[in-house]
Amino acid sequence: MTGPVRSISVLTPSYQYAQFLTTCLRSVHRQSSPFPVQHIVVDDASTDESWDIVRREHPDPRDAVRHETNIGLSRTLTEALRRATGDVVCWLNADDFHLPWTYAEVARAFTAYPGATLVYGDTAFVDDGSRLTRLVPQPAFDRRVMEGGFNMFHVPSVFFRREAVPPDFTFDETMKLYMDLDLWLTVTAGSAVIVKTDAVLSAFRRHAGQVSAVQRPSDADEVRTLSRRHTLSPLGARENGGWTRSSHVRHALGKVRDGAAVRQLLASRMRGQNLDWTKGADVPSALQPSSRGARLRSWNTGQS
C-alpha cells in the first residue's frame, strides 16, 4: 500500500437529509482538488427532495444511485464502497461537509508519506445552521484507545487506502453506533502507517435527526461483537459495553500531551461562526492551514 494518490472516492449515503445535502455535495465538487474525485452518492429511498438535489448538483450521474426501497445505512455504505475506484476513500455523510483545503491537505499528507495507510485530521462540530459549536482536535494516534472501545476518529476527517479494506468486508447491519469503529479497527490492523494532520478536514454536524440521537440502542451487543471480531480482550471484559474508563482517560491525556486540548480551548472564541463556505461564509483564518500546510506526523502500528 504505497505510492502516490492518483484519485479519491468519497462515499455519501443519503437518506432524508435534503436540508443539508446541497452543502455536502458542493463541498466535494467545488473545492480545488489536486487529483480526480469520484463522489459516490447512494440515496436510500428518500421521500424528501434529496434525489432532486443530487440530480441537480452532482456532476456525474454515473456515480449517483437511488434505491426505490430503503435498504439501511450499512448496506448503502457497502454498495458505495464496492463502487469506489479511488486509491483513497473517505466516508462523508450527507449532513456533513468538507472544508475548502481538505483534499489538498490530504494529498500533501499522502505525498509526504507515500506508504500511509490512513490519514486523519481534526474536526469542527457545527449545528443545524453550520455554525461552529466546538473544535475537536485529535492527538497522536493510539490504537489501544480504540481497542478499549473509544473511537478517536470522526468519520468525515478520515481518508484511507481502499486496498487496506479486505475484499469481503461489509458494514455490519446489526450495528448503529460502532460501524465506523469496526472499519477503523480493520484498516489499522497489522502493520499500518497512520498519518495525522493538524488541519481541520471536515465539519461534523450535530443535530436531533441523527441516527444515534433518534435510535440510540444499548451498545453492549455491538461492543461484544467487536471484541470477538477483532480479538480485543479489553472490550471483552466490559460487560455493559461502551468505552472503558481507561481508554477515555488515555485519550484525554493524549490530547493534553499533544496540545490538542489547548487548540480546542483556543477555538472556543470562534463559537457561532458560520463555516458553510459553499454559501459564501468566510472560514476563520485560525481554522485554516498555514501557507506551508499543517503539521504532519506518522506512526506504524506494527511497531507499537
Domain residue ranges in the chain: 8-274
**Is residue 1 over pLDDT 70?**
no
Helices 179-187, 73-83: crossing angle, 10 deg rounding: 30
For the domain made up of 8-274, the CATH class stated in words is alpha beta
Average pLDDT, integer, range 161-176: 94
Cβ partners under 8 Å of residue 225, min gap 6: 172, 174, 175, 178
Grid cell of 89 as nine digits: 476513500
The per-residue pLDDT for range 26-66, each reduced to its tens digit, is 999 999 889 999 999 999 999 999 999 999 999 999 999 99
**Is residue 213 over pLDDT 50?**
no
Q: Would you state the pLDDT for residue 212? A: 52
Q: Would you state the pLDDT for residue 216? A: 47
- CA 237 from chain centre, in angstroms, equals 28
- Could you list the beta-strand ranges (E) of 15-164: 37-44, 64-67, 88-91, 97-98, 118-126, 132-136, 158-161
CB contact at 8 A, 196 and 292:
no
- Strands 64-67 vs 37-44: parallel, antiparallel or unpaired: parallel
**Is residue 90 over pLDDT 70?**
yes
Q: Is 199 exposed, middle or buried (0-12, 13-18, 19+ CB in 10 A)?
A: buried
Q: What is the mean pLDDT of the chain?
A: 90
- CA 83 from chain centre, in angstroms, equals 18
**Is residue 240 over pLDDT 50?**
no
**Is residue 263 over pLDDT 90?**
yes
Q: How far apart are CA 166 and CA 188, in angstroms?
A: 12
Stated as kind and residue range, the H or E segment containing 234 is: helix 233-236
Q: How many CB atoms lie within 10 A of CB 16?
A: 18
Q: Would you state the pLDDT for residue 214? A: 41
The per-residue pLDDT for range 122-153, each reduced to its tens digit, is 999 999 999 999 999 999 999 988 888 888 99
Q: Would you state the pLDDT for residue 304? A: 54
Kindly give the residue spans of alpha helices, DSSP state H, lying in 73-178. Answer: 73-83, 102-112, 143-147
Q: Would you state the pLDDT for residue 241? A: 47
Q: How far apart are CA 112 and CA 50, in angstroms?
A: 38
**Is residue 215 over pLDDT 70?**
no
Q: How many CB atoms lie within 10 A of CB 4?
A: 10
Residue type, 89: V
Q: Would you state the pLDDT for residue 124? A: 98
- Tell me the longest C-alpha to C-alpha distance in the chain: 50
DSSP 131: B
Q: How far apart are CA 122 and CA 198, in angstroms?
A: 6
Q: Would you state the pLDDT for residue 207? A: 75
Q: Would you state the pLDDT for residue 236? A: 45
Q: Would you state the pLDDT for residue 177? A: 85
pLDDT band (50, 70, 90) for residue 234? low
What's the full length of the chain, in residues? 304
Q: Would you state the pLDDT for residue 210? A: 59
Q: How far apart are CA 125 and CA 4, in angstroms?
A: 31
